[in-house]
Structure 1
Amino acid sequence: MQTLVMIVQFILGLSIIVGIHELGHLLFAKLFGMRVESYTIGFPPKIFRFKWRETEYGIGALPLGGSVKIAGMIDESLDTKHTNQPPQPWEFRSKPAWQRLLVMLGGIMLNALTGIFIYICITLTLGDTYLSKEEVNKHGILPHSTGIILGFQEGDKIIHINGKDFTNFADVFSPRTLLETNGYYTVERNGQQVRIDIPANLLEKLAADKEKVEFVSPRIPFVIKAIQPNSGAQQAGLHPGDRIMEINRQSTLYFNQLQAILQAHAGHQVAITYLRNGNLEHTTGQVNAAGKLGFCTNSLLEYQKKKYNLAQAIVVGSKRAIEIVRINVVALGKIITGKVSASKSLSGPIGIAQIFGGQFDWIHFWNIVGFLSMVLAFTNLLPIPALDGGHAVLLGYELITGRRVSGKVLENIQKVGLAILLLLIAYGFFNDLRKLFW
């Protein structure tokens, strides 16, 4: 069922993003009086189509892209029949270069505006809920496998990132932080400050270890939320609201400590010291074979909540959307310079689908759609033949020099571009399979 939910979200999300992108081309083309022959979401064969005025609208069976066919334009279809005929006033090629440029950039602009709009709406609706640095540093952090390799120790307090103060604990493992050149953390350990460098390939390591990006997490103080019937906790007389302070004279102030001690005493009777109504109490309880006493907990960490009005949400949401593009620029630079491995960083359709996940949540869904919309805008702006950015470079050349690139040259450039795109798609798909099975 989770796989089905993931596939449905992937198809729906990608269709929205691609549909908006192609709509950007269509709107500008029609604005400048160009004839749009077809608008399609997905690749052939078409499973649905209808015609309105001169344009056929359709949905393809393969939801991995889309297209807009504009009369008089050499695009990925490589249709060159019109090149032997005189230009017609409704054709792409008969329009001024600045109009053709706006048509090519229309999809990018609409994707970017959509991503910004989504982030503004999410920011306005939800605001921010986060753990502050101060709250986490009351208790210190718990490093996981990659965090231990980096040099973190349990109880460390992260006080600076790249020598600067920060507020939101999530900044510790944000892409902006992890992709920073010569980045580092400053931690307080036993009253001394220690520097921990951020490797240039940290994101690679996290992917290779199949570990969550949160390579460190806060230590969690806890209180008992509920007691399971007929459990060791019930027999010990524990109640909701109790705090387990020690087990067999070992501290259990934090949940990870509790888990480790219970696992070590699985199947045994243990001495329990707990806090109830400000008083320390003592009892004994039976740990089951799975290393459980039989209760669930609530975290005592206090989260900060912040709401934004419309003007604030516009500023904050826009910054968050634009930050996605900045992060992609930095990541691409690291891939090109060899600081980050392309094979471990680039994904295909399977990897994109996995971002949506197997649980459906509207906020998560729109957050991913907004993210991918900004990524698509950035990707299409790259000066690769067959992409919008490649067309924009040629039209920019025409605007500057006044010389138009010939139809034959455009056709050959499109062929090269399509070959590059097909290779990149195949490479991304291979990476997906490698990550799944190797």
Structure 2
Amino acid sequence: MANLLGIVLFALGICLTVALHEAGHMLTARAFGMRVRRFFIGFGPTLWSFKKNETEYGVAALPLGGFCDIAGMTAQDEFITEEERPYAMYKKPWWQRIIVLSGGVAVNIILGFMILFVVAQTAGLPNPNADTRPVVDQVACSADQLDNGELGSCTGVGAGGEAGIEQGDRLLTFNGEELESFQQLRDEVLIRPGETVTIEVERGTQVLELPVELDTVKRNIDGEMVDAGSIGLIQEPLDIIEKHGFVGAIPATWNYTGYMLEATVQGIIEFPSKIPGVVASIFGAERDTEGPMSVVGASRVGGELVEANLWAAFFMMLASLNYFLALFNLIPLPPFDGGHIAVVLYEKIRDFFRRLRGKAAAGPADYTKLMPVTYVIAAALMTVAAVIIVADFVNPIKLLG
């Protein structure tokens, strides 16, 4: 029941995110005297709608986004009426058009910030600047794993302790390679039973290079008992979650927002390279937990988080969705908001150089020349969306196992 509740709540959160994005366009358009014809959540056939004043509000069949139809968004708007023409968007100053086109992006960034601001005061936010390099909390002996999954008995201080590694040491390198986490250390040690490796540690002001002869122990890996390496070191718990008061939450949220926006940009850059993996996952390959998800997949993960009572992670994922929607829409290609902004800026720059040559402004750009690009990108987006949705049904991402 909790899982279903989480799925429903996250799906509603997505719908609200899309609705507020489009509301950002609608409200700024009205503020500058533009005519808004339709405000819809979803695409395709209309499921339900009503009309108030000059605007039709509704819900469409395909929950893959939404749209705000502004009269005269381009000079080639063939549906504009004479009554709408004075309110046409293309007739407005360039800066007003950019504000309207950016309205949805601004709303999503503000909404993401507000969500994180609340999380900062309730559950706390991860500190992106926290030192997460591995530090030793305990040195311990190396025990074999028993058939029931538990560890057997052992004595001594293990390979790490025998080599001179002590509690409080910060682990710097493994065989010359920088160590970023204890998990990285574990993965390297596991495949080297009985080998001698070199660990560089920081102890106070000293940096020591220690040879370590790894222990050989029995471990159950993929259902088979095999010889594995062991170093006998236990990690010092990481304390990277910080809870803040109202005032302190402002800079903390600002800093974490910057971190999330940077990560989102990187994710968008890597997005095309992730698609082949999504396709392969449909046919049985392992699904990348850091790969793209559709509305379906994100809602399922939301259900997992609620079932595990991880509400902070639930809302942080919703904030991340807002940042993704904001930055993805800034891609300077049609039909994204960024593509329309790029055209407005092109008009402004073009007319600036025309004035330098003593010529009059050339007027609105001809969007019909961009239609082939728009159709290709729209078709690609729909295809990719369909592939990800299929993958989310047949091989969904499961963050909690």
Provide the TM-score with structure 2 as the length reference. Answer: 0.62
User: What residue in structure 2 maps to residue 358 of structure 1?
Assistant: 304
User: What residue in structure 1 maps to residue 380 of structure 2?
Assistant: 420
Does residue 392 of structure 1 match 2:349? no
Deviation by residue 1:3-36 (Cα, 9 ceiling, x = unmatched): 6334313321211110111011011101110011
What letter is aligned with 2:9? Q
| Stretches of structure 1 lacking an aligned partner (at least 5 in a row) | 143-152, 174-185, 195-217, 222-300
Q: Evaluate the alpha carbon distance shift between residue 434 and residue 335 of structure 1 in structure 2; reply closer, same or farther with a 3 A threshold.
A: same
Offset at residue 123 of structure 1 (A): 0.8
Q: 1:321 aligns with which of 251, 257, 266?
A: 257
User: What residue in structure 2 maps to residue 18 of structure 1?
Assistant: 18
Deviation by residue 1:68-121 (Cα, 9 ceiling, x = unmatched): 11111259xx96333x97981111122122211211111111111111121122
Tell me the SS of whatever aligns to 1:138. Answer: strand
Is the 8 Å Cα contact of residues 43 and 61 (structure 2) preserved in structure 1? yes
Is the 8 Å Cα contact of residues 74 and 89 (structure 2) preserved in structure 1? no
Offset at residue 379 of structure 1 (A): 0.7
User: What residue in structure 2 maps to residue 180 of structure 1?
Assistant: none
Tell me the SS of whatever aligns to 1:346. Answer: coil
Offset at residue 327 of structure 1 (A): 1.2
Q: 2:114 aligns with which of 98, 114, 117?
A: 117
Is the 8 Å Cα contact of residues 335 and 342 (structure 1) preserved in structure 2? no
Q: Evaluate the alpha carbon distance shift between residue 192 and residue 80 of structure 1 in structure 2; reply closer, same or farther with a 3 A threshold.
A: farther
Offset at residue 154 of structure 1 (A): 8.8
Q: Evaluate the alpha carbon distance shift between residue 32 and residue 134 of structure 1 in structure 2; reply closer, same or farther with a 3 A threshold.
A: closer
User: What residue in structure 2 maps to residue 372 of structure 1?
Assistant: 321
Q: Evaluate the alpha carbon distance shift between residue 358 and residue 335 of structure 1 in structure 2; reply closer, same or farther with a 3 A threshold.
A: closer
User: What residue in structure 2 maps to residue 383 of structure 1?
Assistant: 332
User: What residue in structure 2 maps to residue 311 of structure 1?
Assistant: 247
Count of aligned residue pairs for this structure pair: 307
| Distance in structure 1 (CA, Å) of the matches to 2:61 and 2:275 | 35
Q: Evaluate the alpha carbon distance shift between residue 160 and residue 61 of structure 1 in structure 2; reply closer, same or farther with a 3 A threshold.
A: farther
Is the 8 Å Cα contact of residues 4 and 303 (structure 2) preserved in structure 1? no
User: What residue in structure 1 maps to residue 50 of structure 2?
Assistant: 50
Offset at residue 163 of structure 1 (A): 10
Q: 1:347 aligns with which of 280, 290, 293?
A: 293
| Distance in structure 2 (CA, Å) of the matches to 1:394 and 1:21 | 21
Q: Evaluate the alpha carbon distance shift between residue 103 and residue 132 of structure 1 in structure 2; reply closer, same or farther with a 3 A threshold.
A: closer
Q: Evaluate the alpha carbon distance shift between residue 406 and residue 87 of structure 1 in structure 2; reply closer, same or farther with a 3 A threshold.
A: farther
Is the 8 Å Cα contact of residues 7 and 301 (structure 2) preserved in structure 1? no
User: What residue in structure 2 maps to residue 262 of structure 1?
Assistant: none
Q: Evaluate the alpha carbon distance shift between residue 318 and residue 139 of structure 1 in structure 2; reply closer, same or farther with a 3 A threshold.
A: same
| Distance in structure 1 (CA, Å) of the matches to 2:184 and 2:110 | 29
Is the 8 Å Cα contact of residues 335 and 341 (structure 1) preserved in structure 2? no
User: What residue in structure 2 maps to residue 81 of structure 1?
Assistant: 79
Does residue 41 of structure 1 match 2:41? yes
Tell me the SS of whatever aligns to 1:432. Answer: helix
Deviation by residue 1:247-282 (Cα, 9 ceiling, x = unmatched): xxxxxxxxxxxxxxxxxxxxxxxxxxxxxxxxxxxx
Q: Evaluate the alpha carbon distance shift between residue 422 and residue 44 of structure 1 in structure 2; reply closer, same or farther with a 3 A threshold.
A: closer
Offset at residue 315 of structure 1 (A): 1.1
> Superposition RMSD on alpha carbons, in Å?
4.4
Counterparts of 1:258-269 in structure 2 under 5 Å? none
